[in-house]
């Protein structure tokens, strides 16, 4: 509504001051500033299901709005009940897309790609836009695009390559995707990783007290993130005399929280683990700058570039992560990447060794400056706007 009112007001001013011909020129330019984004923002899911895909989509829209674009969001449908109702919502979304493409003839379609079974839907959306002479941007998310391509049949392979080839720009969350597209299609693609927002890099490297080892995880609190392994890591370190604390920040279902609390009691660490609930990162950011290790033993095979991982590193927190998605690529230190996602002892050994050796600050500084050099809002903004040149 605000965009429509601003558009009308600005058009009226041009009409009154400069006449119809200049107004028409302005109108063409203004319509070029429309972007239709098809992606997830978490509007229709429970809090514990909102994660990196939604956060990344919101960040992208923020950059584009600040650059002067008018964003029209097409929320990606989520399957809740029957397959039939899900297909009906997808069809309705496609009909809305067709209407918007006719209404905004110079708008760009930006698809936050989830591929897999949805690749056929995304391909149809892109083909629709192309038939109506619109430009398109495909933004590849999650960390299993190449694996999906390799394990599926020829129809899927052909469709995926056709989808990638048709777009005017392709954004890749992982550098491996850039190489894949260049190798398969001879087409350039842009590396567009997740990033830390500028407001969280103010103040420089944060030094902190070292009296107590503070472990932290923030993100979706669901079984796929191996929360039980985090509890076991905390227990092992407690048994070894470090006496750590563990903060779990994020949305969690009541049933799963009750299960975790039972495990906490069994492990004898009830005084060391704290649940924060779902919070905006701005609310707990000051606390992050006091923490020491970010636990990320995720065994989610679709893990991409975790927003939480980048934000933790940007606070000088040393991550200890599983080897899924783009974790190894983001961290760029093999000692901090655990080959067995479910092996709590391996994570605990790394944390214990770094803590008692006095080498924590060296790792902390390395992580902080890696983010400053590679994963800032400024660099992401430059890449995103380059896709729209």
Token digits of residue 197 = 């927002």
Give the pLDDT score at 74: 94
Pairing of strands 214-218, 293-296: parallel
Residue pair 71/61 in contact by the 8 Å Cβ criterion: yes
b (16+ CB within 10 A) / e for 326-335: bbbebbeeee
CA 362 to CA 365: how far, in whole Å? 5
Strand order of the sheet with strand 245-249? 273-277, 245-249, 214-218, 293-296, 318-322, 337-338
Checking if the pLDDT of 42 tops 80, the result is: no
Q: What percent of the chain has pLDDT over 70?
A: 90
* Phi-psi domain of 193 (left: phi exceeds 0; alpha: psi -120 through 50; beta: other): beta
Closest-CA residue to 156 (of 166, 170, 146): 146
- What is the overall mean pLDDT for the chain? 88
CA 258 to CA 247: how far, in whole Å? 16
Checking if the pLDDT of 6 tops 80, the result is: no
CA 89 to CA 186: how far, in whole Å? 36
Pairing of strands 337-338, 293-296: unpaired
Checking if the pLDDT of 187 tops 90, the result is: yes
Give the pLDDT score at 127: 96
CA 236 to CA 231: how far, in whole Å? 9
pLDDT in tens, 105-152: 999 999 998 888 889 999 999 999 999 999 999 999 888 899 999 999
Residue pair 190/170 in contact by the 8 Å Cβ criterion: yes
Q: What is the dihedral of CA 138, 142, 146, 149, to 10 degrees?
A: -70
pLDDT in tens, 84-111: 988 999 999 999 999 999 999 999 999 9
Give the pLDDT score at 47: 63
Token digits of residue 182 = 């260049």
Least-confidence region, from 5-14, 61-70, 336-345 = 5-14
CA 88 vs CA 38, 82, 109, 131: distances in Å:
16, 10, 21, 23
Q: What mean pLDDT comes out for the span 59-71?
A: 93
Q: What is the dihedral of CA 296, 299, 305, 309, to 10 degrees?
A: -10
Give the pLDDT score at 31: 56
Q: Which residues contact 82 (CB under 8 A, 6 or more apart)?
A: none
Give the pLDDT score at 165: 95
Angle between helices 344-357 and 360-374 in degrees, nearest 10: 110
Neighbours of 282 (CB within 10 A): 10
Q: φ and ψ at 360, to 5 degrees? A: -60, -45
């Amino acid at each position: 509504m605000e965009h429509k009112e601003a558009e009308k007001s600005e058009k009226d001013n041009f009409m009154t001051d400069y006449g119809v011909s200049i107004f028409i020129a302005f109108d063409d330019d203004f319509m070029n500033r429309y972007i239709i984004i098809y992606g997830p923002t978490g509007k229709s899911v429970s809090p514990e299901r909102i994660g990196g895909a939604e956060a990344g989509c919101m960040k992208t829209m923020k950059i584009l709005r600040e650059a002067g674009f008018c964003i029209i969001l097409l929320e990606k449908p989520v399957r809740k009940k029957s397959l039939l109702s899900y297909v009906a919502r997808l069809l309705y979304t496609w009909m809305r897309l067709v209407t918007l493409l006719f209404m905004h003839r110079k708008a760009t379609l930006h698809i936050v790609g989830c591929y897999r079974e949805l690749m056929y839907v995304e391909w149809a959306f892109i083909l629709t836009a192309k038939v109506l002479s619109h430009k398109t941007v495909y933004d590849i998310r999650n960390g299993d695009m190449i694996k999906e391509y390799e394990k599926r049949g020829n129809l899927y392979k052909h469709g995926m390559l056709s989808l990638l080839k048709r777009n005017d720009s392709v954004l890749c969350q992982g550098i491996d995707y850039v190489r894949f597209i260049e190798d398969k299609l001879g087409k350039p693609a842009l590396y567009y990783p997740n990033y830390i927002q500028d407001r969280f890099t103010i103040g420089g490297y944060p030094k902190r007290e070292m009296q107590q080892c503070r472990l932290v995880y923030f993100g979706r609190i669901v079984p796929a993130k191996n929360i039980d392994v985090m509890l076991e890591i905390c227990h092992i370190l407690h048994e070894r005399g470090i006496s750590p604390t563990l903060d779990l920040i994020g949305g969690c279902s009541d049933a799963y929280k009750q299960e975790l609390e039972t495990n906490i009691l069994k492990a004898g660490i009830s005084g060391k683990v704290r649940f924060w609930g779902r919070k905006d990162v701005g609310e707990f950011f000051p606390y992050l700058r006091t923490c020491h290790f970010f636990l990320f033993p995720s065994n989610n095979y679709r893990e991409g570039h975790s927003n939480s991982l980048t934000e933790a590193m940007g606070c000088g927190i040393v991550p200890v992560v599983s080897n899924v998605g783009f974790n190894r690529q983001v961290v760029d230190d093999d000692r901090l990447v655990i080959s067995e996602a479910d092996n709590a002892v391996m994570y605990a050994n790394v944390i214990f060794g770094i803590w008692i050796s006095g080498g924590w600050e060296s790792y902390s500084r390395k992580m902080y400056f890696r983010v400053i050099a590679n994963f800032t809002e400024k660099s992401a903004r430059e890449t995103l706007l380059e896709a729209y040149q």
